[in-house]
Structure 1
Amino acid sequence: MKVLCICPIGIGNYLLVYPACHALKQSRPEYSLHLLGLRLGIAGLAEGDPVWDGVHVFDPTRMGLDPVQRFSIMRSLRRQHFDASLNFFPSNKWLYHLLPLCAGIRRRFGFAYAYSPITTLPFLITDTVPVDTSLHDARQNMNLAALAADRSAIAGQALQFPALFSDTDKKRAGERLSRYGDGPFIGVHPGSSAEHGMILKRWAPERFAALADRMCEKTGAQALILGGAEEDPIKQAVADAMHAPCRVVEQASLRETAALLNECILCLCNDSGLMHIASCGGVPTAAIFGPTDEKRNGPLGQGSLVIRKHMPGFPLWTADTAGDRTVPKGIDPGQSLDALTVDDAWEQVMPWLERIRAAT
């Protein structure tokens, strides 16, 4: 069977989709799995991975409203003659539901979402699995793979994450670190995706800098301030506010960034794709959460920490509301992060650092 695996837009989403696809391939080696990424960066991570027999991109941010490009991609997908598609969690939007139909796919697997207005076209999914609101997104996706494979045991299997960098990437990262001086290093990512209001996941740069200072002082490390080119202003703002030794990492590919994170003793970040890269790669990761739900998409690696200011109404965006970005009346979506002080965060980080030290 030839299957199109449709990944939501974020780099982090790809890492939470991959274990399900790996398990599906292991359980059904006769299946030919193709990835459809809705962002070009996802394809860059997936290329060359043996799980995939093909990698395709349908990126609306690059195509704009150009109907010729959209038609061309749909035509190329139709020529693949896929037997089935999997819409991975969270894909509760009309575009995700419509794409496999336009690609000529008859059997379309997806989720039965609690939020399912007619405008999201949920009726286009032919085979559904219920959303389990107690589960992490990665586990939701394992349930979908179990349905598609007709193998219930898949749901409980261990999560297998992809290799995110090559030996060449590791060598480049090592050369860069040698220019930065002696370690150890702490990876610091003060940014996040800005799409669909997700800029609200970012803690204030001056607070980020102050917490990173305390962590560097406690561990004797210097900070590597990481992120994409679009995050340069916030990276520089954190660097300018820090007193501990720090470096703003520039012009590093996503794979080299993954290799750099792999060399860090710790990572401090917001809820972001780099958070998942660090945590899934085994780096102890402290992640700051505000409007998003760590039960859904928190760091999965051992030794991870979620930093949060607990208050009524938060988190806002849970498995129950997947696909619905409406903010309840009277709630400021930035309120939780605004209320999180450096001292609040440090009270949570300090015992975590002690546990990590005791374990090493």
Structure 2
Amino acid sequence: MLLLKWSAMGDVVIATALFEDIAQAFPGREIHLNTLPVWEGLFVEDSRFSSVFAVDLRARQGQMQRIVEWLQRVRAGHYDLVIDLQCNDRSRLLLSLLWLVGCHIPYRLGNRRQFPYNIAPAELPKPVHTMTRCRAALEAGGISATTPRPVLSLPQFNHARVDRLMKAHELREGHYAVFMPGCNAKGYLKRWGAARYAALANRFHEDGLVRIVLIGGADEVDECQAIAETCGEWLVNLCGQTEIFDIPLLCQPARLIVANDTGGAHLASVSTTPMLVICGPTDPRRVKPLGDNVVTLQADLPCINCYRKTCSHHSCMSMLTPDRVWQRVQKLVQEAA
């Protein structure tokens, strides 16, 4: 069988819970995954898949060549079942083209009752989390969808690497928090703000938390540096120093996690650590990471969930004071105890 999942990192990580459901429903079956080249490395050591292949369908140049490459690759697979976890116009187009060129995969599972799918659920009310829609699709195919959080195969190399990081920075299990204060630069309105994160870090440290760890990527270096400059040596700034597989391993021993709506939060949700995700212009009903250990916090304003790229006031974030976030995190940690 063939699984399709492209999209952004957060969506791909979320889908790994579905991969787990499918693997458990078809023990011993040969399962292939088609994803984007940038995410292929996530599944290098994933025993659920016999094959992982990637075609850069998002590249602006050479689109027809890549479409032909994809059709040839899938046709050569002789699949009897395709599960489309992408379910957008592009995946529907490609599967339709596959049918038109004579490759008739018998069972085609998607989330809409329309061609090219012959297995799909009833339409769900909107807005709906992508996971809810995908789980409904699997259930329509008789696949139990119950895995509560993402499942990634974390290489031993990264286990050893995180062990070294924790020893180097004196990070002891249950005695540090992880903050993810950034996000993609283009979506900067999703950032709660360096000053607020710094105030929250100082509050937790004053309450006895030994270390606060900052995690982020290249777009978030300045944000993390601004936080570090207003905190003491107890703050550990690992922004730009971690690999993707390091993130869940660093998060699992932490006491708590506070994050913006960012791909890193989805990686953190592989862990069972209590996590608060701060939402402003994006809808928690659509973007919340998986897991019963994860909650979201959002201001009550008429303009929330606007998904705008610019804003003159950014009230959705300024109304969420450090004290309010601190109180919600404290409640979350107490509930998890």
Matched, 1:176 2:173: no
1:321 corresponds to which residue?
A: none
Residue 235 of structure 1, CA deviation: 2.8
Matched, 1:214 2:212: no
Cα distance per residue 1:217-273 (max 9 Å; x no partner): 334232221122343233323323445732222332211222222232211111122
Q: 1:111 to 1:240 in 2, by over 3 A?
A: same
Decide which structure has greater helix share: 1
Q: How does 1:126-141 map to 2 (within 5 A)?
A: 126-129=118-121, 130-133=123-126, 136-141=129-134
Provide the C-alpha distance between the structure 2 equivalents of 1:88 and 1:111, rounded to a whole number of angstroms: 8
Alignment TM-score, normalising by the size of structure 2: 0.82
Q: 1:337 to 1:286 in 2, by over 3 A?
A: farther
Residue 142 of structure 1, CA deviation: 1.7
Is contact 2:181-2:223 (8 Å) kept? yes
1:185 corresponds to which residue?
A: 176
Provide the C-alpha distance between the structure 1 equivalents of 2:311 and 2:3, rounded to a whole number of angstroms: 34
Cα distance per residue 1:36-75 (max 9 Å; x no partner): 223513x2222222222221223345x4413445543443
Provide the C-alpha distance between the structure 1 equivalents of 2:242 and 2:125, rounded to a whole number of angstroms: 38
Q: What SS is found at the alignment partner of 2:207?
A: helix
Q: 1:203 to 1:334 in 2, by over 3 A?
A: farther
Provide the C-alpha distance between the structure 1 equivalents of 2:221 and 2:56, rounded to a whole number of angstroms: 23
Alignment TM-score, normalising by the size of structure 1: 0.77
Which segments of 5 or more consecutive residues in structure 2 lack a partner in the other structure?
none
2:212 corresponds to which residue?
A: 223
Matched, 1:306 2:296: yes
Is contact 1:20-1:142 (8 Å) kept? yes
- % identical equivalent positions: 20
Is contact 2:196-2:322 (8 Å) kept? no
Residue 285 of structure 1, CA deviation: 0.7
- 1:32 aligns with one of 27, 30, 38: 30
Q: 1:17 to 1:343 in 2, by over 3 A?
A: closer
1:324 corresponds to which residue?
A: none
Provide the C-alpha distance between the structure 2 equivalents of 1:285 and 1:266, rounded to a whole number of angstroms: 6
Residue 287 of structure 1, CA deviation: 0.8
Q: RMSD of the TM alignment (CA)?
A: 3.1
Matched, 1:96 2:87: no
Provide the C-alpha distance between the structure 1 equivalents of 2:272 and 2:246, rounded to a whole number of angstroms: 16
Provide the C-alpha distance between the structure 2 equivalents of 1:357 and 1:245, rounded to a whole number of angstroms: 24
Residue 190 of structure 1, CA deviation: 1.6
- 1:232 aligns with one of 208, 214, 221: 221
Q: 1:200 to 1:111 in 2, by over 3 A?
A: farther
- 2:77 aligns with one of 80, 88, 108: 80
Provide the C-alpha distance between the structure 2 equivalents of 1:299 and 1:97, rounded to a whole number of angstroms: 26
